[in-house]
Structure 1
């Protein structure tokens, strides 16, 4: 068993760290399970308003921990359990989290790294970051739900290039293709990621949660009309009243 996923608090921002530095933070089975536990806990915490996901030691995540693969990949039941319970368990916990999530992407962002970054709302990358899912070199495809997630976020054309050509793309290319919000000098990435998270943490927390719930429902194929019965239940909420009152009084809101 190698690596861990942990978090620490910096004010209202949680820093979630993928830590397996000897393998560029490749995800072990234990790390996928810990990722699920961490985000399930963050979802329930009222003191957290934003999250930064980063890798340790100058890399985001180089993919899965291939050293473990011979233990379970060569029979369908074990392979299904790994992808549907371990991997999708971690990814789905991130997707279900109503907190704004910033990806702090440095160095390698491959395979599992692209999947984890695809669960984040804002993606900040360094000039030296590299993106891909070259698993065709390992003889297997991307699992269906993971492929759906990646294709939705990187775009179908880029997903095809990553999976069929085993292409590795640089950060400026991923910025042009819409996967990244910004690309910065490598040394500036940690501070920029935290700055964006802190900014979001100062905004209305209930509004952020409601926006994420709406966007998640729409991404899942739900028609906007289905959301209308409860869409305006926030009308009398204190946060809503404070935001409007602060604007009219020309003062910063106190959320």
Structure 2
């Protein structure tokens, strides 16, 4: 017989903590929350703020990406600083002139380009992008998909992938970006897939897989899901709202 967790007599909802890292069943002291939980909240908020202002480990990542035997391009958006990046989202969606020149020298017309951007949590990229790529890139290679140079982008937002992929003339882009940190997850990666990327596309043109991290969607499941969507995207020649994740569903 399975062991049944008995709820805390002071908080009958405490057993739910076994299933989520969300801030639930934190208790109460009078009309306020207990001191311990209040301090934990402040610490989580500090971690979230730190994640937003964290910096991508460009040199360390470039060295580590060498294991994939692909050229690595260091690129930058038009946002010169973190402050400008946060205040001007539009600048984070475009490559600066130096990056455009670098891309012009690398036109290969490959099937897939993988763009790694700091987004709103460089911590997520520094800690979690390599384990994900170690599972994803072999899948893409085994499917005989040609992979463009790997792109490391500082101060980048999701839409900068459209610009980069279009310059490289890649058929499909995968943007791996640090997601906006929450109070229980400052290290989540979001994966955005776009078929036939080009400047000016809207969010409904891409598919998103979010919460990729050890405490969320694990790396194997994320790599499997991304690869499935890549295959379906090439097969159906589209991405976005018209491309559904039907993997594992029973169809009659």
Question: TM > 0.5 between the two?
Answer: no
Q: Which structure's residues are more often helix, by fraction?
A: 1
Scaled by the length of structure 1, what TM-score is found?
0.29
